[in-house]
Structure 1
């Protein structure tokens, strides 16, 4: 007994220590959150001066929400120290809620102030950024004549379709640079007028315009390099494609391989003659697609040749066997519905589902199909055998349920229900003989199918 009370005392001491620690953490969190509100209020005033009220809306709303919820935390702390006695459970619940509210408040304010850090830094560096925008615009303007010359040089070699992606780039870049310089001037004037929000929007537009203009000019130079690389790759692909055609013509000509050969031959024939402006990217894409199609067709043909394809007769025997076993299982379960449990019914339902999937897989009734494509025979046979196996299991489980439900001879003092005295003192059960005959017929059917296989 002394050991029991000693254990209870230690547990209570541990719980009291945990409650005291929770109370200290709640008080510390409350002080920290309150100080964070005061600090963030000052940060909000500074951010509004730099960015304007529109950009600081999220932080202002977060502060309002935190103040509201922190009032709840202060109220809970007051209840912990009023004249009304509290139970340990009440104190524990309030302190946990105070800690939760304070943690949420600090996380929310952290998230909102972090989101404003980059815009505030950009606003502080506005004069420096404006100067950089103007310098970058002047530097990029010097590259526009070279970009125009490059486009003219490319037009003599490549088709208009190929050049469509870069032909207008120099003109568009020049317009963007003009817009960037105008936006920088607007940002400067709005900043001097104290309209910080509008100034920041114009500053962001100017920096983005310079970035886009540089991307367009770079794209012209990149196009020339990539076009030369595409032409070099195209020559290698043409040579590989001709070699692949030579190999493919020696392969067994299944319909898939024949179609792929025609596709690759057409892609090669569509290549323009020397001296004609071309689109190397489009030609390379078309030739790669045709080449990959031929590779896939040959691989499929080789796989099919290496795989033993079941004869159509064997597949049909498997389907017939599945249908026969399903029919018998349905009849037995339907004829003894009150005796059949969930296991047999589940196996039958699964067998019927697999059999229905087989019809959907073949796109027609499997039992009525006059032919089955070679690519589908292996899967069709596997599905049919699965359905037959499940139907056989359903029949065996149904027999188990019927045997378990039928009254035994010692229950009634005579022959079992549904049984009669046989010749020579033997017993013959009508139900058992029926099931035995069914099962025997299925076994014989399966053996015959085995011989046919």
Structure 2
């Protein structure tokens, strides 16, 4: 019995010690949270001066909610110290609630202020960023003549359909750089006038335009490399296709296989002769589809277990083709984001996902893999061809979107588009398409007045 009472006394002592500690924690939390509210209120005033009221709306609303809950916490603390006696349980419950409210308040303010931290830092660095933008404009403008020469050189070798992916990139990059330079000037003038929110929006437009211009010029150089890779890959796939036909002819007679062989032979026969401007991307697409059709027909004609394992060389060619097609589609969509609809973006995203899955499936980078086991080749080839097919679809859909959205005569900077006869002419449509979803609000009216 003495042991029982001794244990009960120890439990009561531990509970009392816990209550004392909880009361101290509640007091410390109240002070810390209240001070945090006061500091954040001062930070809000500075943030509104730097970024404007719209950018700080969420922080302002969070402060309002936090003040309301902190009022509840102070009321609970007041109840702990009024003249009305309280039980230990009541004190314990209130103090626990005070700690909870204070921790919630600090978490909310941490989250909201961290969101604004980068924007405020960027606003403080605006003069440095503008100087960097102007330096980038000079460097990118120096690349435009080379890009034009590259396009002219490629036009001698490739068909217009192939070159359509990058043919207008130099002109569009030049317009973007003109827009970026003008926007940088607007950002400076609005900042000097104390219109910080509009200045930040104009600076955002300027930096985004420079980034897009760089992407367009990079795409020209990428196209030249990828087109040469496409020709090399085409030559290899032609040999692969002939080998596939030889294998298919030894298969049991099947109408499906015979039809697929005929389609692949027709695709091979349609390849242009030497000296003719070609579209290696379109030719690869046709051969790829015909190869895939032959694979499907063979699969339907015999037991899966009897299917020959694809040679490692064929798998490598399929992976190379997938990477090339993915790179071209990605460059085109990145350079014309404002014109690209959901269909092209979805195909590209799915192609990129499967390409990542292929690396996971092989346990290493598929592009760098030198050995692919027999039990992985068939699946690897199917995944690579799926990537190439989806990327090809994404490129076709992107080109459709670009062709349907690009104005027939977009005009040049300062011409009939921007301020040359109307506030929002063809040039505005073009720049709106190139800049995509960049939201700069009513500042556009000021920029081009």
Place the TM-score, normalised by the shorter chain, in its bin: 0.5 to 0.7
What's the CA shift for 1:255?
4.0
What's the CA shift for 1:306?
5.8
CA shift in 2, pair 1:120/1:305, >3 Å? closer
What's the CA shift for 1:305?
7.7
* Distance (whole Å) between structure 2 residues aligned to residue 39 and residue 47 of structure 1: 12
Secondary structure of the residue aligned to 1:253 is coil
Deviation track 1:136-180 (CA, whole Å, cap 9, x = no partner) reads 111111111111111111112112221111111111101100001
In the alignment of these two chains, the number of paired residues is: 307
Corresponding position of 1:160: 160
Deviation track 1:9-60 (CA, whole Å, cap 9, x = no partner) reads 2332332232222222221111110111111112112212222222222211
Corresponding position of 1:266: 266
Corresponding position of 1:315: none
* Distance (whole Å) between structure 1 residues aligned to residue 97 and residue 180 of structure 2: 52
CA shift in 2, pair 1:134/1:306, >3 Å? closer
What's the CA shift for 1:89?
2.1
* Distance (whole Å) between structure 1 residues aligned to residue 40 and residue 194 of structure 2: 23
What's the CA shift for 1:273?
2.6
TM-score of the pair, normalised by structure 2: 0.65
Deviation track 1:223-281 (CA, whole Å, cap 9, x = no partner) reads 01000001101100000110111111011123443343233223222322322222212
* Distance (whole Å) between structure 1 residues aligned to residue 306 and residue 196 of structure 2: 75
Deviation track 1:369-412 (CA, whole Å, cap 9, x = no partner) reads xxxxxxxxxxxxxxxxxxxxxxxxxxxxxxxxxxxxxxxxxxxx
Q: Which moved more, 1:108-117 or 1:52-61?
A: 52-61
What's the CA shift for 1:73?
0.4
* Distance (whole Å) between structure 2 residues aligned to residue 258 and residue 8 of structure 1: 90
Instruction: Report 1:280-295 matches (<5 A).
Output: 280-295=280-295
Instruction: Report 1:56-67 matches (<5 A).
Output: 56-67=56-67
Corresponding position of 1:138: 138
TM-score of the pair, normalised by structure 1: 0.65
* Distance (whole Å) between structure 1 residues aligned to residue 255 and residue 24 of structure 2: 81
CA shift in 2, pair 1:253/1:26, >3 Å? farther
* Distance (whole Å) between structure 2 residues aligned to residue 92 and residue 286 of structure 1: 76
Corresponding position of 1:93: 93
Corresponding position of 1:178: 178
Secondary structure of the residue aligned to 2:157 is coil
* Distance (whole Å) between structure 1 residues aligned to residue 37 and residue 55 of structure 2: 19
List runs of 5+ in structure 2 lacking aligned partners.
308-449
Instruction: Report 1:301-340 matches (<5 A).
Output: 301-303=301-303
Corresponding position of 1:44: 44
* Distance (whole Å) between structure 2 residues aligned to residue 234 and residue 264 of structure 1: 14
What's the CA shift for 1:302?
4.0
Secondary structure of the residue aligned to 1:211 is helix
Deviation track 1:66-91 (CA, whole Å, cap 9, x = no partner) reads 11110000000111111112222222
List runs of 5+ in structure 1 lacking aligned partners.
308-453
The structure with higher relative contact order (CA 8 Å, sep 6+) is 2
* Distance (whole Å) between structure 1 residues aligned to residue 273 and residue 57 of structure 2: 64
CA shift in 2, pair 1:305/1:127, >3 Å? closer
What's the CA shift for 1:2?
2.3
CA shift in 2, pair 1:268/1:73, >3 Å? same
CA shift in 2, pair 1:18/1:242, >3 Å? same
* Distance (whole Å) between structure 2 residues aligned to residue 170 and residue 196 of structure 1: 33
Corresponding position of 2:192: 192
CA shift in 2, pair 1:91/1:253, >3 Å? farther
Corresponding position of 1:230: 230
Secondary structure of the residue aligned to 1:143 is helix
CA shift in 2, pair 1:96/1:263, >3 Å? farther
CA shift in 2, pair 1:289/1:79, >3 Å? same
* Distance (whole Å) between structure 2 residues aligned to residue 264 and residue 136 of structure 1: 49
Secondary structure of the residue aligned to 2:303 is helix
What's the CA shift for 1:294?
2.5
Corresponding position of 1:251: 251
Deviation track 1:291-315 (CA, whole Å, cap 9, x = no partner) reads 23333443554426869xxxxxxxx
